[in-house]
């Protein structure tokens, strides 16, 4: 440590300000042990505040999520709001059940109060959509949700919304980041011990009342579901919404029903991850009568996954892809006479555009993330392939796993009355619009430079063919397009296929989104079309992996 006096000085200065006994003890041990490698990792910079807010591993130091980082972020947000003239506005704070979430929420409320703003904290850990709803319902100027969504147990995050109820986008993110950087010392940030409001259940009741508007008044409510909260905060809110709607009470996946910040039954608390739904499938297999669908929320319940029976055996359940659920919900809303714009992000299936066009509805494609989808003028329905669906934009201008689950169960009920299933409706959509098959190549890394290297390699040597199909158009999205602002990504258009490559905005992953479209003339062609689509997707994945060096 004597060889790096600047590092030890930074660590000791951070230690002197840290208000959390746990992270103080953690950092003191690192300093005493002269753990240069770990201290360098934690003090190599600062956790960057962007359009996803903050998200990272819990621990001491400016490159980790901790109370010091959160207090600075809250102070920066408060300064930004006051600079915009919101000198005494209300900031609503919500939080999930992860480690430190309640502490981070309390610190945020204290900072807002100390800055002269008004703060109100949701009464307990609740789904992120409740916070997004509360902002507009209470006339707040901003909202903060403390959550790391579906990230691993060691992570937490800090998501910021402005007064329109949608997440921040540029330039607000950079302006808030500048205010955070201007916070010289935590000693300069007033944090009173009281003065903020702890909300009652009125806001939750108002949210639940709003969920009634998602369903048609005379729709059947007969479908039976198995439900997993994935160790998160969705269970009580979803059960209350289902009870209000008159659906049969979902059968709970007992092992995952209650909040648990350690997520003991899953490697990653994300319904998309391999193995995450195994307990739900096992619960469905032993449930009598057999359920019509399986529903899963992620830990903060803003995403919704669904699985359906696909075979005769008890274990024959299949997860639907986010694009499949997105198309099912769109078709359901169109049949119900929905008006307004249908929107999706560029990484989602082009099937939504075809459904909207056939229905004579406006359609818009946005950059990745609900922060963009929620801002589409006249939005009626928006979705993203990563299990995010906005079915009631007047109530929640963000993805909402509770209302999406309600609408899916209504659709399952209608199909059940007809002796049909989600799979039958997906076949209908394939016959009407062509078989749209999607897949994803997702590479998680420890070294972020590997992602930068892959993107550079693809930019310098873009593939000419993938799966034998010629690449007819290669776009570097950092330059923007006629309809999209610049973003870090690549898009390849092929004959009957499409590929998008981008770094994840919330995880250390390189994500590649693949789609092939196979025309159909009759239902008899469906098995062959599916086989062809599967082969093409596998071959595109192989060739793209080789081209990117991953």
Known catalytic residues are 149
d(CA 72, CA 69): 5
d(CA 325, CA 405): 10
Query: For the purposes of burial, counting CB atoms within 10 Å of the CB of 495, is it exposed (0-12), middle (13-18) or buried (19 or more)?
Result: exposed
Q: Compute the half-sphere exposure of residue 380: CA atoms within 13 Å on the CB side of its CA.
A: 18
Q: How does DSSP classify residue 2?
A: T
Please answer whether residues 128 and 94 qualify as being in contact, where contact means their C-beta atoms are separated by less than 8 angstroms.
Answer: yes
d(CA 142, CA 81): 8
Structure token digits, residue 184: 């010289």
Structure token digits, residue 392: 């009631």
Structure token digits, residue 233: 């905060």
Phi, psi angle pair for 523, to nearest 5°: -65, -30
Cα–Cα distances in angstroms (integers) from residue 475 to residues 3, 368, 440, 469, 510, in the given order:
47, 16, 19, 17, 17
Q: How does DSSP classify residue 53?
A: B
Partners of 200 in the β-ladder: none
DSSP string over 479-507: G--SSS---S-EEEEETTEEEEEEE-SSS
Q: How many CB atoms lie within 10 A of CB 289?
A: 7
| Strand duo 293-297 + 388-390: pairing | unpaired
Helix axes 5-17, 21-32, angle to 10 degrees: 160
User: Can you give the length of the chain in residues?
Assistant: 550
Taking each continuous run of H as one helix and of E as one strand, the counts in the chain are 17, 21
Nearest to 93 by CA among 83, 73, 107: 107
Per residue in 428-460, is it b (16+ CB within 10 Å) or e — as a string? ebbbebbbbbbbbbebebeeeebbebbbeebee
Helix (H, G, I), strand (E, B) or coil at 239: helix
Q: How does DSSP classify residue 350?
A: T
């Amino acid at each position: 440590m004597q060889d790096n006096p600047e590092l030890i000085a930074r660590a000791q200065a951070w230690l002197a300000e840290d208000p959390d006994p746990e992270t103080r003890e953690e950092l003191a041990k690192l300093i005493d042990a002269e753990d240069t490698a770990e201290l360098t990792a934690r003090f190599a910079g600062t956790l960057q505040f962007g359009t996803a807010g903050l998200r990272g591993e819990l621990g001491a130091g400016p490159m980790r999520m901790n109370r010091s980082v959160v207090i600075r972020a809250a102070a920066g947000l408060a300064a930004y709001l006051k600079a915009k003239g919101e000198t005494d506005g209300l900031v609503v704070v919500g939080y999930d059940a992860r480690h430190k979430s309640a502490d981070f929420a309390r610190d945020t409320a204290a900072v807002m109060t100390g800055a002269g703003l008004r703060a109100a904290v949701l009464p307990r850990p609740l789904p992120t959509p409740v916070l997004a709803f509360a902002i507009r319902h209470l006339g707040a100027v901003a909202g903060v949700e403390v959550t790391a969504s579906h990230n691993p147990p060691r992570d937490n995050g800090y998501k910021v919304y402005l007064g329109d109820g949608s997440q921040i986008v540029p330039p607000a993110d950079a302006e808030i980041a500048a205010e955070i950087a201007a916070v010289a010392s935590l000693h300069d940030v007033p944090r009173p011990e009281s003065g903020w409001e702890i909300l009652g259940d009125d806001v939750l009741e108002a949210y639940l009342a709003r969920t009634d508007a998602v369903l048609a008044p005379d729709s059947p409510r007969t479908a039976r579901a198995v439900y997993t909260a994935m160790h998160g905060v969705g269970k009580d809110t979803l059960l209350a919404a289902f009870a209000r709607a008159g659906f049969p009470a979902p059968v709970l996946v007992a092992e995952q029903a209650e909040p648990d910040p350690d997520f003991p039954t899953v490697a990653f608390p994300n319904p998309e991850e391999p193995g995450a739904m195994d307990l739900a499938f096992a619960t469905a297999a032993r449930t009598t009568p057999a359920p019509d669908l399986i529903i899963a929320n992620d830990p903060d319940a803003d995403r919704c996954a669904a699985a359906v029976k696909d075979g005769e055996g008890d274990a024959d359940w299949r997860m639907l892809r986010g694009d499949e659920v997105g198309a099912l919900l769109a078709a359901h809303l169109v049949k119900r006479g929905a008006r307004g714009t249908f929107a999706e992000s560029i990484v989602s299936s082009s099937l939504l555009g075809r459904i909207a066009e056939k229905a004579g509805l406006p359609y818009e494609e946005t950059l990745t993330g609900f922060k963009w989808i929620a801002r589409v003028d006249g939005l009626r329905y928006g979705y993203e392939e990563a299990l995010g669906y906005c079915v009631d934009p007047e109530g929640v201008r963000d993805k909402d796993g509770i209302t999406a689950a309600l609408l899916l169960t209504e659709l399952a009920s209608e199909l059940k009355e007809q002796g049909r299933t989600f799979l039958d409706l997906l076949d209908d959509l394939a016959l009407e619009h062509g078989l749209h098959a999607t897949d994803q190549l997702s590479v998680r890394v420890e070294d972020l430079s590997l992602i930068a290297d892959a993107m550079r390699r693809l930019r310098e040597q873009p593939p000419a063919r993938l799966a034998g199909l010629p690449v007819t158009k290669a776009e570097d999205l950092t330059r923007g397009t006629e309809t999209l602002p610049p973003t870090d990504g690549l898009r390849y258009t092929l004959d009957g296929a499409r590929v998008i490559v981008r770094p994840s905005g919330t995880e250390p992953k390189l994500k590649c989104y693949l789609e092939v479209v196979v025309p159909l003339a009759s239902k008899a062609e469906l098995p062959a079309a599916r086989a062809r689509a599967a082969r093409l997707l596998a071959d595109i994945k192989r060739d793209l992996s080789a081209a990117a060096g991953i």
